[in-house]
Structure 1
């Protein structure tokens, strides 16, 4: 049974994740990256602030005394942001993209794909408290 503390953390995470999905959601990964690039172009720190689940992961790791599952959540979120930044740099700044990667990024993604984080990360929060 989940206690109120765990439910509160999961609820906060879900709200933050829905916020991120709302501004990133697009029919292709390339369009998602283009939306992110608009914030990245204005200011790198603005781009980072637009990822509140990363800061949640930092806070959560500290609150759980650096529990393994909390650290997994933090590392996955960190790798996610770094990957996005590398793609943005490669595609929009350096303008060096292979034909194959370009084609792959232009492929349509499922309409529920951006919501995968809502299924993947909450179990890590539950495991961190168990």
Structure 2
């Protein structure tokens, strides 16, 4: 882009902060995906988490592709369960399908917080395991 990272970040960061603070991004989610992200290049002595849990809106129709809803520190069932709990009952009741990787912690969180949703293994992991 012909500029430095700091110059770019000063323009992008406020837009990201505003988007993260907008609760309307959680409206209309009917298909919810979860997966972990591991920052392999992160030096554990530096600040910030190395393991994250990411939630994605996979609902077809209102947007052309999947949308990242949130990233929370940690790769655990409790990180996902707490995130689902924070969204509130109205959000959880709208989720019809919950996709996940084959991690029992995420499955436990879905069973606990999304009891009416159909739980499915995501396509990437099905192909990978096959």
The two structures have a TM-score, normalised by structure 1, of: 0.29
Structure with greater contact order relative to length (CA < 8 Å, sep ≥ 6): 1
Greater fraction of residues in helix: 1
Greater fraction of residues in strand: 2
